[in-house]
Structure formats: structure tokens, C-alpha cells
């Protein structure tokens, strides 16, 4: 142990290392002086100042997103700015609700008020240069809300030869808090814009609900599920023909009595389709106004998930009989 001690001492205090230690001492000393001179200069630095709205009455619901920070630019000596940035002297904004409530469902805190509050928490030598944003605004109501459905918005396109067979949303409805006038005009809300292209399996997306500055949505996130299916061309025979506007005591017979429908749908849905799911009509009034010996057929409705539906025969022979 003594040998190690003597070896280290001899190494540190040899002539060469003595010179190095002297150099190192003065190098550190000059660095300290440089740092003191540098921190004694004036600088400007932007700080993020936390914001809190206090004293909100129990019957008040904020409908706008509460701003949690503002960006404040301060000018002072470097050492003082360091104390704001990394010390316990960082300013904060606690704004009393009643002081800024305008009484009409909203309130505004001006930049001059923000500067004044920040300045009161800093040293006399510190100058508040600017505030961003230049004002804070909040909206509220007294608990008025409306439950509305959620719809998706954006671009959701599956891979070629696939299509979206069904869309579900959980939850399917949300509570909207806003002014009474605005609630009357809101019938539904939409998701933030979605952008998903080229998928083939079921797509599950968790997304935020799009809101405006004076709206609050609870919950503010929903989950959409887009189910896909393979497109196929198919046809279904035996779809019955229904006559509309038929007077009492009259009966319309068509030849044939049932028709075929061509359409495009998904493979899984095709197995569940029945002829009664389609509605094909003939109009008695139109027949009476026409001198033709054939009546026109119209495809009035098709099941959800069916597209490009068309009748194999758009005209058929007919006979009107008395019941």
C-alpha cells in the first residue's frame, strides 16, 4: 500500500506534472472568470410559464381547452435567467376565474395582465419583453350539454378489390358542452381527419374528436373499427315486384312475377342476402298514363353494403284485374 502511495505522489509531483498541475489550475481559474463575465452580460430568453385558472365555481364547466402554458420572453443578466430556468424561482400564472369572467360565457386575460403578474414574481432588474399568445381566452357554460353521434372524417380506402363493409364506433355518442345556441345547431360531431390507405384486414383506429374553441367533448377520444370484405359481382333471382298507387279493388299481375337483380357486394354478405331484401316496384299511375303494353320496373331500395345494383329486366308484361 505504501508503494502505491509513493508511486502516485512521485508521479503527481514530478517536475513535468507540477507544470501540468499549475497549467490546469490557471486554466480552471480563467474558465471561472470567463463564466462570471459571461453571466454578467444581459440576455433574452423565452420561458414556458405554467397557467392555472383558479376558483372555478362548481356549476361551471369549461368548454374550451385550458391553456396550460404561455411563452414569456425575459431580459436580464445571465445568472438571473439561469435561476429562472433551472432554479426554484420560475414564475407561474394562477388566474382567478372571477377576475376575468365577462359574465357572458367567456373571459379574456390580456397580455398586459400576464406581463404584470409575471413581473411581480421576478426581480426588479428583469424585464418582461413579450408574451405568446398575446392573450388567453376561455369559454364556459353552466352544465348545458347535448348527446350526439360521432362520425368519422378523412380518407379511409382499403386495398383494391376490397371495400369497407361496416363501420362501428365506441362509444358511438359523446356529450358536447357549449353555449345553448351552439348546442341547438350541433347534430353530430366528427373525428379528427383520418388517413389510412391500402389495408385489407379490419382496421382499428383510436382518434380524437374534432372540436372548436368554445366546445368541450366528453369523452374526447373514440375508437373506430373498419371491417373489410372482398368485392364480388353477383346476382339474385326471385325478387318480388310490388305495385304502388294501386286503387282498391284492382290487382296488377306481371309476367314474370319476379325478377333478377345484378349487384356488387362482399363475399361474406352475399351469403346472407335474400330476395326480400331488395325492393322492386311498378307504378300503377304511370301504367295508366302510358299506352305501352309493358310496364316499367324500378329498383327502389337495396340492402346496406350492396352497390351498382341493376335490374336484369327493366320492363315486363302486365295484366290489370279486378279483385
Tell how far CA 211 is from the center of its chain. Answer: 8
Rounded to whole angstroms, the Cα distance separating 139 from 132 reads 19
Q: Output the pLDDT for position 148.
A: 96
202-211 pLDDT per residue, tens: 999 999 999 8
| 213 and 245 fall within a common domain | no
pLDDT of 129 higher than 70: yes
Count other Cβ atoms within 10 Å, centred on residue 188: 11
Is there a domain that residue 24 lies in? no
225-249 pLDDT per residue, tens: 999 999 899 999 999 999 999 998 8
CATH code assigned at 83: 2.170.120.30
Rounded to whole angstroms, the Cα distance separating 260 from 296 reads 14
Is there a domain that residue 32 lies in? no
Using DSSP bridges, classify how beta strands 298-301 and 93-96 pair: parallel, antiparallel or unpaired: unpaired
pLDDT of 19 higher than 80: no
When pLDDT is averaged across residues 143-151 and rounded to a whole number, the result is 93
Q: Output the pLDDT for position 290.
A: 84
Q: Output the pLDDT for position 207.
A: 96
pLDDT of 12 higher than 60: no
Q: Output the pLDDT for position 9.
A: 58
Say what the alpha-carbon torsion angle 210, 54, 129, 120 is, to the nearest 10 degrees. -170
| 302 and 217 fall within a common domain | no
Q: Look up the domain containing 203 and give its range.
A: 145-230
pLDDT of 67 higher than 80: no
Is there a domain that residue 35 lies in? no
Model confidence at 197, pLDDT cuts 50, 70, 90, reads very high
Q: Output the pLDDT for position 278.
A: 96
| C-alpha triplet 143, 144, 148: angle, nearest 5° | 125
CATH code assigned at 219: 2.170.120.40
Tell how far CA 151 is from the center of its chain. Answer: 11
SS3 content of the chain, % helix, strand, coil (to 5): 25, 50, 30
Domain boundary among the residues 126, 141, 156 is at 141
Find all residues with CB under 8 Å of 279, minimum gap 6, and list them.
242, 299, 300, 301, 302
Amino acid at each position: 500500500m505504501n508503494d502505491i502511495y509513493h508511486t502516485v505522489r512521485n508521479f503527481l509531483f514530478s517536475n513535468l506534472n507540477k507544470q501540468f498541475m499549475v497549467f490546469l489550475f490557471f486554466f480552471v481559474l480563467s474558465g471561472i472568470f470567463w463564466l462570471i463575465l459571461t453571466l454578467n452580460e444581459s440576455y433574452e430568453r423565452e420561458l414556458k410559464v405554467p397557467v392555472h385558472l383558479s376558483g372555478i365555481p362548481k356549476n361551471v364547466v369549461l368548454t374550451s381547452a385550458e391553456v396550460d402554458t404561455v411563452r414569456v420572453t425575459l431580459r436580464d443578466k445571465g445568472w438571473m435567467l439561469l435561476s429562472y430556468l433551472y432554479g426554484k424561482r420560475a414564475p407561474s400564472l394562477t388566474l382567478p376565474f372571477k377576475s376575468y369572467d365577462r359574465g357572458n360565457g367567456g373571459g379574456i386575460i390580456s397580455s398586459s395582465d400576464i406581463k404584470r403578474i409575471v413581473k411581480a414574481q421576478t426581480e426588479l432588474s428583469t424585464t418582461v419583453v413579450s408574451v405568446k399568445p398575446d392573450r388567453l381566452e376561455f369559454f364556459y357554460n353552466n352544465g348545458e350539454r347535448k348527446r350526439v353521434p360521432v362520425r368519422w372524417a378523412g380518407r379511409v380506402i382499403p386495398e383494391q378489390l376490397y371495400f369497407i363493409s361496416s363501420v362501428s364506433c365506441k362509444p358511438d355518442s359523446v356529450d358536447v358542452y357549449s353555449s345553448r345556441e351552439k348546442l341547438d345547431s350541433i347534430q353530430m360531431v366528427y373525428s379528427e381527419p383520418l388517413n389510412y390507405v391500402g389495408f385489407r384486414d379490419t382496421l382499428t383506429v383510436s382518434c380524437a374528436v374534432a372540436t372548436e374553441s368554445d366546445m368541450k367533448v366528453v369523452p374526447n377520444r373514440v375508437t373506430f373499427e373498419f371491417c373489410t370484405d372482398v368485392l364480388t359481382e353477383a346476382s339474385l333471382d326471385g325478387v318480388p315486384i310490388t305495385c304502388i298507387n294501386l286503387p282498391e279493388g284492382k290487382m296488377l299481375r306481371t309476367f314474370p312475377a319476379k325478377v333478377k337483380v345484378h349487384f356488387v357486394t362482399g363475399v361474406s354478405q352475399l351469403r346472407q342476402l335474400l330476395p326480400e331484401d331488395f325492393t322492386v316496384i311498378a307504378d300503377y299511375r304511370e301504367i295508366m298514363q302510358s299506352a305501352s303494353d309493358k310496364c316499367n320496373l324500378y329498383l327502389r331500395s337495396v340492402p346496406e353494403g350492396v352497390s351498382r345494383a341493376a335490374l336484369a329486366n327493366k320492363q315486363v308484361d302486365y295484366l290489370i284485374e279486378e279483385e
